[in-house]
Chain A
């Protein structure tokens, strides 16, 4: 008797692999039979390579731009991601998911949106940003504050330029340390907040970045008067199952994979292990 297993991946074809920076590549992936992944912005998939391992990776493409494929922006940092970086178009990777709770886009309609991604934190937020831009009319202001360590670490530079050029997007970018190629803003991401004013009650703020960043960015958001229930963050944890069983991603009593990875600040502010 053959039964299905939530732990058995299905294999999907890499249709494009594009370097974004020294450490990050963008993988465009096609599921069998052109089936759509059917994800919400903010969800993730478990990506596996036979004999190597499996890792949770956020989906960076917008559901509004699926074309029968989806995109993962992956930093080369561990066993699985290093093996993935050695793969080429035509190769196959294991996919399980999409899993988790993403961003509640319906509750964001009509609202002003303040995105504050740091570094690789842009990857999950880009999914939502591009969906919002594709349905631009149903949202208020779109403000994007993006911070990276160095100019060479900025992701999706072509899209950043596009966002900067649009007059319906307020885009500010900063780097912690500049170089000779950089004539923009220098400073950590929090130094961008004084550049904007928001109507706090009508604003939803969204952030994702390295663990160290959340406290400071959330402090800025609260400082603008944005309510705790309107601040969304996406968290990273080790995951082995993606479905709330293996225990690795637990944040106190919450399962990052199942209860998150997107949480409101109100949900996690009293959860000591969250930030």
Chain B
């Protein structure tokens, strides 16, 4: 075994110290959330704050859990986020393929019109979309929470850019081999852009998971509400019960961590491809 040069050892030590410091720094908010969720009402407002709770108040979890029907909210959120994500992937992939590889009249104009809609602030659409949903009598249904988000111009644009990078020669070669457009799309195009598509899926899922205003607008019954609505129940006009917010957040973050563990590889690759900050 070859003995290592002292310089290399020092470099390694510096590298790991920096990495560990970075890891701790990133973990801190999460650790803080968990520790805060176990503090008592008077300890959470104490200045300077304590790191480790004097007394572990596991009752915060029971109290937070009892405040809203979280299991139902959880199911609703998962369902809405999943269906929205699958739907938005389908529409984005199909339209991105059309814009990048197919020739049809008015392609450039339609694409420009698509892009132009990115300039309209979401708030402007809120009320008009709401009125549409009301006229369709979709209030208080899953449809109302899902259908308006099934197409997304930004994701279409993102995927169009990725698909455009795939050489036309591949597409034409497939054509020569009598491969249909759809077959080419799902057998070649999609696997080649796996990472970009995963990124879109993750962004869409997180967006849907965190959405608050729209689901609130289009639902009225407790059965149809989502997790983000549960979290605001600890706020009032005169203050916020932070220990309960933290306890509820801890409960809610568990499923996200599980998803992350399964998809870790794709998420990291996807992020580095698009430069989206995690």
Q: Do A and B originate from a single complex?
A: no
